[in-house]
Amino acid sequence: MKQTACNDRDFFTQQRPGTGFEEARAILLGMYHEQELDAEKAKEVKQHLDHCVCCTQFLGDLEKIGEFKTAQVVLPFAQCPSSATIDTYLFDRVLLPADEAKRVRKHLKECPLCKEESSWLKSVEEGRGLEFSALRVRNYMQYFAVAAAIFFFALSAFLWQQRKTSPVPDEELRALAKLERPERLDFANLEKTSVELSPETLEIYDEAIRRFQNRKFQEASLQFEDVLRLKPDHSASLFLLGYCYYEIGQPEKAFELCDRAEAIQPHSLTRCMSLVHIALMTGHFGRAVREINGLYHEAPDVPEIREMYQQITALTRGSTLQM
C-alpha cells in the first residue's frame, strides 16, 4: 500500500527535541502500542491517528509484527537518552522536565551502557567541556519478538546512516544569529542576576556600561576586566566583556566568556539568549542546541525562545552535532 506523508511531523519531534521524525514516531507509537503512555498523552496520540493515514498505517505495521511482551529474548534497540540529555541529567537536572528526568533515572538503572557512560562523565574533572554526539543512537527496549527486533534494527540502522551522512547547515544556522544592539540590552536584568558590587567597584562598572552603550568596546572591555579582577563571579561583567571581545574581533574569547557567564546562577534570559546567538555565530552549534533546548523546556511560551527553538530544531534535525 502506498503510504502518504504524516500530516503533523512536529507532533512527534516536539515530544523528543533533538530526535529525528522517524525515530520520534517509532518510539511514541511503540509506547502507545504497548500502553506505556499516560492517559493524556495516549489521547493526544489517538487524536493524531484519527486524522493521519500515514501514522495509522505505520502503527498497523507495528501491530503486524507481533505482541512485543510475549517475546522470549531481550535485544538492544536504538533509543537511549542522548549523551547531551545524560549530561544535562547529571549536571543540570533542573533543565529537564520532571517526567524526562524520571525516565532517564529509570533508564540508567537498567542500561549498562548508559550507566557506564554516566560513571565516566562523573569521573571527568568538572564534568563539562566534553564533546558529545547530540543525536547518538543507542538504547534498549525489552521484550521484543525476534521479528520486531529485525524490523527495528533495520530502521535504526537506516536512520543512523542518514544522520551520520547529513551535513550540518552551517550557513543557515549562522544566519539565525543576531546580537541585540548594545543600547537595547536589558541591563536591569543583567544586574539583578549578578552578585552585588561594592560602591567603588560599582563606579567602575557604571563607567564601563556608559562606554559600552556608546560602542567604545575596547575601552569598555578594559573596565569590565577591572571589575572582574575585583569580583571574578560578576556574571554581567563576564557577559558584557564577551560581547566586547566579539565586537573587537575575538569571537572565540567572546564565546568562552559568555559560556562562563551563563553557568553562573541565577540565570538571566539576556545572557542565555545571547549565548545561543554567539554560539551560532562562532560555529558552536551543539552548544547552541543544548542552550535553546534548556530555555525552551523552561519557558516554551516566550516568543523569542519558541521561535529560535523551532528554527534551530528544523535546521539541525538529522545532523550530527558536537556538544
List, as one string, the DSSP characters of 142-204: -SB-HHHHHHHHHHHHHHHHHHHHPPP-HHHHHHH--PPPGGGS-HHHHHHTSPPPPHHHHHH
Arithmetic mean of pLDDT over the chain: 77
pLDDT score of 133: 35
pLDDT score of 65: 56
For residue 249, which amino acid is it? G
pTM score above 0.95 = no
DSSP annotation of 69? G
Q: Residue 302: helix, strand or coil by DSSP?
A: coil
Q: Between the CA atoms of 70, 71, 76 and 81, what dihedral angle is there, to the nearest 10 degrees? A: 0
Instruction: State pLDDT tens for residues 165-175.
Output: 456 678 888 89
Q: Which residues contact 13 (CB under 8 A, 6 or more apart)?
A: 19, 20, 21, 24, 313, 317
User: Residue 51: is its pLDDT beyond 50?
Assistant: yes
Domains along the chain? 9-66 (no CATH), 83-167 (no CATH), 173-316 (1.25.40.10)
User: Residue 77: is its pLDDT beyond 50?
Assistant: no
pLDDT band at 156 (very low <50, low <70, confident <90, very high): low
pLDDT score of 252: 93
pLDDT score of 144: 39
Query: Across residues 86-97, what is the average pLDDT?
Result: 76
User: Residue 137: is its pLDDT beyond 60?
Assistant: no
Instruction: State pLDDT tens for residues 203-253.
Output: 999 999 999 999 999 999 999 999 999 999 999 999 999 999 999 999 999
Nearest CA-CA partner of 25 in 37, 36, 39, 11? 11
Distances in Å between the Cα of 303 and the Cα atoms of 132, 289, 308 are: 29, 17, 8
Q: Which residue has the higher pLDDT, 208 or 22?
A: 208
**Per mean pLDDT, which range of 82-91, 137-146, 199-208 is the poorest?**
137-146
Q: Which residue has the higher pLDDT, 4 or 16?
A: 16
User: Residue 138: is its pLDDT beyond 70?
Assistant: no
Q: How many CB atoms lie within 10 A of CB 320?
A: 17
User: Residue 134: is its pLDDT beyond 80?
Assistant: no
pLDDT band at 196 (very low <50, low <70, confident <90, very high): very high
**Per mean pLDDT, which range of 142-151, 236-245, 276-285 is the poorest?**
142-151
Highest mean pLDDT among 78-82, 193-197, 264-268: 193-197
User: Residue 261: is its pLDDT beyond 80?
Assistant: yes
Highest mean pLDDT among 14-18, 149-153, 245-249, 292-296: 245-249
Q: Residue 272: helix, strand or coil by DSSP?
A: helix
Give the Cα-Cα-Cα angle 299, 302, 304 (nearest 5 degrees).
120
pLDDT score of 57: 81
pLDDT score of 218: 95
Q: Which residue has the higher pLDDT, 249 or 158?
A: 249
What φ, ψ does residue 73 adopt, rounded to 5°?
Answer: -125, 155
